[in-house]
Amino acid sequence: MPATIRDVAKAAGVTIGTVSRALNNYSDVNCHTRERILRVAQELGYRPNQMARSLSSKHSKNIALVLSGFLEDTMLNDFETMLMKGIYQFAFEHGIDIAMYVINSRTQKEKSYEQLCYEHNIAGAILFGLKTNDPYCEALAASHRPCVTIDTEVRGPCISNVTLDDVTAFDELTQYLIDRGHRKIVLVHGRKNAMVSMERLVGAYQAFTRNGLTLTHDSIIYTNFLREEAVAGVGAYFRTHTPDSATAFLCMSDMLAIGTIEALKSLGYRVPDDYSVVGYDGLEVANYTDPKITTVDQNIKEKGYEAAHLLYDMLNGIRPAQKLVLPHTLVERESVKNLNELSN
Amino acid sequence: MPATIRDVAKAAGVTIGTVSRALNNYSDVNCHTRERILRVAQELGYRPNQMARSLSSKHSKNIALVLSGFLEDTMLNDFETMLMKGIYQFAFEHGIDIAMYVINSRTQKEKSYEQLCYEHNIAGAILFGLKTNDPYCEALAASHRPCVTIDTEVRGPCISNVTLDDVTAFDELTQYLIDRGHRKIVLVHGRKNAMVSMERLVGAYQAFTRNGLTLTHDSIIYTNFLREEAVAGVGAYFRTHTPDSATAFLCMSDMLAIGTIEALKSLGYRVPDDYSVVGYDGLEVANYTDPKITTVDQNIKEKGYEAAHLLYDMLNGIRPAQKLVLPHTLVERESVKNLNELSN
DNA sequence: CTGAAAGCGCTAACAC
DNA sequence: GTGTTAGCGCTTTCAG
């Protein structure tokens, strides 16, 4: 059994109160005594029982990562993975443990946010995958517990949001295609009501308009962000459109780009020779396709790192709740043909 | 603030001891009283404070998933993701929370296994990513805490292992190539000292020998399971070998297969027309490549589910520690050419 | 500066 | 059956 505070106290010849004070960096401890206590604690391999600690003090410093919709989403949870990488990188560098919990819209109804935090002794949480109408959004706003949401805008006194400028990023991506001579662009659209879809649509619209192009309903393929739907949608598109009605496919996600490329290939077209395709997200997998996909990297790993950092600072009172807009990066790879260049 | 046991006791007109007994399904409670207590608890939204509970009772039922090497591995942690899917699927179906913790070889030295469990009130753990010489392997063996390791063989009275028959699976995969007329097979090998590499090597060796083929050092490309190394290795191979010295590449992982295909393509070869390639693992990403990769699916998601199930049963005393060998599946896709068929 | 003591929310003996 | 009570390991007053 692990050593308790009592063991340390006995070994150091003081009372548990003093040990507690020494270990919690209280100022009113004789530095000689403190040193002895620290040494003894070290020797005994003593580590405070966090449960007892927070049961007694009524608060903890535990940070949790709360993932919603993990089980429902696509098979390849590249997004969550990258996010976790960033978060645990921070945890690793700062020597803290971060527990991860998986929830979904159903479990949110069964167990309230406060309940979850209470049961697991969570001082502050990083939340990802929350839909705008999820129960936890309201709960977050009402809570006094510091938290950071990623890619979901929730307002509240203790809530930080880490996002990126989706509108601008998608605008840039669209402009990238236009700059390379593409004027007949098909938009492969994500889930209709999703916030991200709408923002990206605005970005595309901005770029189209600025360049004197019009975005017609006819040249939009709707999906729910699923690869198979992109495959089907592109197939359907060419059944009602001539081959020269498009030169490029502007996809709202990398998975949609993968599906689009798959469909184009199966129709006997080459990418990017016959059609150009761009994705959005910056998933690792977009690097393993043929051709490698030109995309906007959301820097999701960095988002994770910064979210953890921010929450850590909030819990330690060195940064207030805030909205953090992280930069994105246009990653130029192999899936776009420059139509302005002379074709030899 | 959440209701405490005292609030429930007062509202139900009994003492906290009775409430505790009622809630913990003790038999010696008047069924009428119990009903009232349960109703009151429900009304008050009372949920027991797990920390206080286990601080007092000295044990919990909490299950944790402990991932090692998550930060060090390849970018695409498809394996961990699938595993998590399986585990959280089980948690979801059974209404339990499973916390995940990320560790690595370094943190294993800093915080002992017992310490980790102690601090986070973990009754039993599922461990993944443990290397055979990691500190936690010994700790596990010495511990009295039930646990399940995935893909790492650790022996001990309370330890279960969930694995697959790597040797047989790789043997089958090799035989698959041989059955399709391949006799000049290059083995793209994983990390030299890794247990999985060794087992797969044995599988390949078995199949080779059985079919009168010899596995020569000359036709093995060594890697550390990294895609880039496969790319480089295949490139190097063709600098010292003639194009007709091989017809197929037998890769120890899907990522290596992806790298191999990438290298072959960049050399101007077609897959599978010029060379066949098989992978191993059954990652989702092997479905998004061109061609889609024929591979052995380790059914990692199912492994996760079964591991959680087993640990759950162990903690509830309905199954003893055991070794579980899960089935694998050869998934035939597009990356292998049948040399026995007449080429038209 | 340090000791003594109350109490966090709960379980588990032990009475009655 | 139910009340009472002693802790679990720790923090936090309050004395001195």
Which of B32, B54, B76 delimits the end of a domain? B54
Cis status of the peptide bond prior to A146, with omega within 30 of 0: no
Question: How far away is chain B from the Cα of A296, in angstroms, using its nearest Cα?
Answer: 18
Of the candidates B80, B111, B285, the beta carbon closest to that of A285 is on B285
Residue B83 has pLDDT above 70, yes or no: yes
Can you give the pLDDT at residue A2?
77
Q: Find out whether B155 and B95 touch, Cβ atoms under 8 Å.
A: no
Measured CA to C1', the nucleotide nearest B37 is D2
DSSP letter (8 states) at residue B158: T
Q: Which of A52-56, A147-151, B217-221, B233-237 has the lowest mean pLDDT?
A: A52-56
Instruction: Kindly report the nearest CA distance between residue B211 and chain A, in angstroms.
Output: 34
State the Cα–Cα distance between residues B225 and A195, nearest whole angstrom: 39
CA distance A197 to A112: 28
Q: How much is the pLDDT for A27?
A: 81
Provide the number of CB pairs (under 8 Å) joining chain A to chain B: 126
Taking the C-alpha atoms of residue B145 and residue B117, their distance in angstroms, rounded to an integer, is 9
Whether B258 maps to a domain, the answer reads yes
In a domain, B200, yes or no: yes
**Residues B206-223: what's their mean pLDDT?**
97
CA distance B324 to A14: 51
Please, how many CA atoms are within 13 Å of residue B154, restricted to the half-sphere of its CB?
30
Domain identity same for B49 and B174:
no
Higher pLDDT, B217 or B72: B217
Q: Tell me how close the Cα of A254 comes to any Cα of chain B, in angstroms.
A: 11
Q: How far is CA A206 from CA A196, A253, B56, in A?
A: 15, 18, 61
Q: How far apart are CA B190 and CA B197, in angstroms?
A: 5
Question: What CATH code is carried by the domain that includes residue A28?
Answer: 1.10.260.40
Q: What is the mean pLDDT of residues B134-152?
A: 94
Q: What is the pLDDT of residue B187?
A: 98
**If we measure between CA atoms, which residue out of A249, A254, A267 comes closest to residue A337?**
A249
The C-alpha atoms of residue B3 and residue A215 are separated, in whole angstroms, by 56
Per-residue pLDDT at B269: 98
With tokens 């995958």, the residue in question is: A129
Name B196's bridge partners.
none
Distance of CA B261 to the CA centre of its chain: 25
CA distances from A133 to A225, A310, B112 (A): 19, 25, 42
A1, A7, A49, A51: best mutation site toward chain B, by most B Cβ within 10 Å? Answer: A51
- Give the pair of three-digit tokens for residue A134: 């999820």
Which residue has its C-alpha nearest to nucleotide C8's C1'?
A56
Q: Which of A38, A54, A70 is the last residue of a domain?
A: A54
Specify the residue for token string 């770029």: A207
Cβ atoms of A147 and A140 within 8 Å: the answer is: yes
- Asked whether the beta carbons of residue B288 and residue A288 sit closer than 8 angstroms, the reply is yes
Percent of chain B with pLDDT over 90: 78
Show which residues sit with Cβ under 7 A of nucleic chain D.
A 1, 4-6, 16-17, 20-21, 23-24, 46, 48-49, 52-53, 55-57; B 13-18, 21, 28-30, 32-34, 52, 55-56, 58
Does residue A202 sit in the same domain as residue A336? yes
pLDDT digits (tens, 9 = 90+) for A18-46: 999 999 888 888 989 999 999 999 999 88
- CA proximity to A138, closest of A155, A162, A152, A117: A155
Q: Can you state the angle between helices A113-120 and A135-142, rounded to 10 degrees?
A: 70
| Residues listed for chain B | 344
Nearest to A197 by CA among A151, A240, A245: A151
Percent of chain A with pLDDT over 90: 79
A341 — pLDDT class (breaks 50, 70, 90): confident
Contact assignment for B258 to A115 by CB distance below 8 Å:
no
- What is the number of structural domains in chain A? 2
The closest of A290, A303, A291, A296 to A332, measured between CA atoms, is A296
Q: Within a 13 Å sphere around the CA of A22, how many CA atoms are in the beta-carbon half?
A: 23
For A132-141, which contacts have Cβ atoms below 8 Å and span 24 or more sequence positions?
A132/A195, A134/A68, A134/A105, A134/A108, A135/A105, A135/A108, A135/A109, A136/A66, A136/A68, A136/A103, A136/A108, A139/A112, A139/A113, A139/A114, A140/A113
Structure-token pair, residue A154: 């929730």
User: Quick check: B344 pLDDT over 60?
Assistant: no
pLDDT tens per residue, range B221-278: 999 999 999 999 999 999 999 999 999 999 999 999 999 999 999 999 999 999 999 9
Does residue B315 lie in a domain region? no
Q: Are A305 and A87 in contact (CB under 8 A)?
A: yes
Residue B73: which pLDDT band, with cuts at 50, 70 and 90? low
- Please compute Rg for chain B using Cα positions: 26
Residues B92, B309 contacting (CB under 8 angstroms):
no
B280-296 per-position pLDDT tens digit = 999 988 998 999 999 99
Task: Give yes or no for residue A76 having a pLDDT over 80.
Answer: no
Please identify, among A9, A39, A54, the residue that sits at the C-terminal boundary of a domain. Answer: A54
Task: Please state the rounded mean pLDDT for residues B81-110.
Answer: 94
Residue predicted with more confidence, A205 or B121: A205
Nucleotide nearest to B6 (CA to C1'): C9
Q: Is B316 within the bounds of a domain?
A: no
Of B54, B91, B288, the CB nearest to A285: B288
When pLDDT is averaged across residues B160-182 and rounded to a whole number, the result is 97
Interface test with A, best of B65, B88, B117, B145 (most A CBs within 10 A): B88
For A61, the token pair is 């410093």
Q: Is A7 on the interface with B (CB under 8 A)?
A: no
**pLDDT reading at B121 higher than 90:** no
pTM of the model as a whole? 0.91
Best mutation target, B44, B49, B51, B262, to test chain A (most A CBs within 10 A) = B51
A163, β-bridge pairs = A325
Measure A100 CA to C12 C1' (Å). 32
Inside any domain, residue A260: yes
Is the domain of A205 the same as that of A337? yes
CA neighbours closer than 13 Å in the CB half-sphere of residue A192: 4
Single-letter amino acid code for the residue at A111: K
Q: How far is CA A46 from CA A54, B118, B173, in A?
A: 17, 12, 51
Gap from B52 CA to C15 C1', Å: 25
**Amino acid in position B234:** V
> Nearest Cα to A305, choosing from A95, A62, A86, A98?
A86
**CA at A63, C1' at D6: how many angstroms apart?**
34
d(C-alpha B68, C-alpha B140), whole Å: 14
- Residues with Cβ within 8 Å of residue A88, at least 6 apart in sequence: A98, B70, B71, B102
Contact A295, A282 (CB under 8 A): yes
Whether A306 is in a domain gets the answer: no
Nearest-CA neighbor of A258 among B287, B262, B261? B287
Range scoring the smallest mean pLDDT among A26-30, A73-77, B163-167, B208-212: A73-77
Q: Which of A99, A112, A68, A67 is nearest to B64 (CA)?
A: A99
- Range of lowest pLDDT (A161-175, B4-18, B232-246): B4-18
Distance from residue B191's CA to nucleotide C6's C1', rounded to whole Å = 59
Residue B182 lies in a domain: yes
CA–CA gap between residue B293 and residue B285 (Å, rounded): 9
Task: Output the pLDDT for position A325.
Answer: 97
Domain encompassing residue A251: 166-297+330-343
Dihedral of CA B186/B192/B197/B199: which sign? positive
Give the position of tokens 């689009």.
A260
Task: Give B103's strand partners.
Answer: B68
**Residues of chain A found within 8 Å of residue B97, distances taken between Cβ atoms:** 101, 116, 119-120
**B84 chain-A contacts, CB cut-off 8 A:** 70, 102
Q: Which of B60-64, B115-119, B184-188, B222-226 has the lowest mean pLDDT?
A: B115-119
pLDDT tens readout for residues A273-282: 999 999 999 9
Query: Would the CB atoms of A101 and B101 count as touching at under 8 Å?
Result: no
Q: Is the pLDDT of residue B118 over 90?
A: no
Answer yes or no: are the C-beta atoms of A238 and A204 closer than 8 Å: no
Handedness of CA B297, B70, A130, B85 (dihedral sign): positive
Position A338 confidence tier, pLDDT thresholds 50, 70, 90: very high
| Contact status, residue B18 vs residue B9, Cβ threshold 8 Å | yes
B173 three-class SS: helix
CATH of the domain at A206: 3.40.50.2300
**Which residues from chain B sit within 8 angstroms of residue A100, using beta carbons?**
99-102
Model pLDDT, residue A121: 86
In the predicted model, what is the mean pLDDT of chain B?
93
pLDDT at residue number A29 = 86
B29 lies in a domain?
yes
Q: Which chain A residue shows the shortest CA-CA distance from B80?
A: A81
- Any idea which residue has 């049948």 for tokens? B338
Confidence check: pLDDT of A60 > 90? no
User: CB-based contact (8 Å) between A285 and chain B?
Assistant: yes
Over 90: is that where the pLDDT of A327 sits? yes
Q: Give the protein-side footprint of strand C (Cβ within 7 Å).
A: A 13-18, 21, 28-34, 52, 55-56, 58; B 1, 4-6, 16-17, 20-21, 23-24, 46, 48-49, 52-53, 55-57
